[in-house]
Amino acid sequence: MQAPMKAAILIDGGYLRVRTRKAGLVYDPELIEKVAIACLDATTETLHRVLYYDCAPYTGSHRQPVSGTLTSWTGNDQWLVDLSCKDYFAVRRGVLKFRGYKLKRIPYQPMRALVDSDFEPVFEQKGVDMRIGLDIATMSDEGIVDRVILVTGDTDCIPAMKHARKAGLQVVLVDFLNSNLAQELLPHTDVRRAVAWPTP
């Protein structure tokens, strides 16, 4: 009988958040834990660790684009702390950067003068892709696991996926219902695994 393969699950929080909200689910540590468990094939794999990558909510103040009124955002990262305390979970934090404002509707039809409510803030994650790549490279080079199970749709992960396969690891890409995976990821994947959303 073949021994179970040791697997690490790597979850891109930004990607998973978008997918769960489109599925009409509440995004919280309990759901993230259920998703991680659903991604593992318990008959052939044993869990080494779940690595979760995300940014804490933005905290800072910036002026509105039209009125110049100062607006503040205050974020609470307790949910990330709670997630990091779950069994087998480790949280890798990037940084959320403010990148200005963009029009909600493009092209804009100038029926009236622009107001602040015509705009929405733009935030960008920094450091998440790099941390995913570094962890995959470390696991590949040190032989920590046999498989990496990826919950992501980001093509920036392709170099790390290539590196893992060259090092002898198997790469499993999670495919949720109607997830519209980037086709560029598939040639660098050993297994495309369909995973159903956990029931509430």
pLDDT interval class at 177 (50, 70, 90): confident
pTM above 0.75, yes or no: yes
What is the spatial distance between Cα 11 and Cα 109, in angstroms, rounded to a whole number?
A: 40
Three-state DSSP class for residue 86 = coil
Domains and CATH numbers, the chain: 5-95+125-195 (3.40.50.1010)
pLDDT for the residue numbered 94: 92
42-83 residue pLDDT tens: 999 999 999 999 999 999 999 999 999 999 998 889 999 999
Helix (H) or strand (E) holding 84: helix 78-84
**Higher-scoring residue by pLDDT: 1, 116:** 116
Cβ-count burial 103-128 (b if 16+ within 10 Å, e if not): eeeeeeeeeeeeeeebbeeebebeeb
DSSP secondary structure of 50-69: EEEEE-PPP-EEEE-TTT--
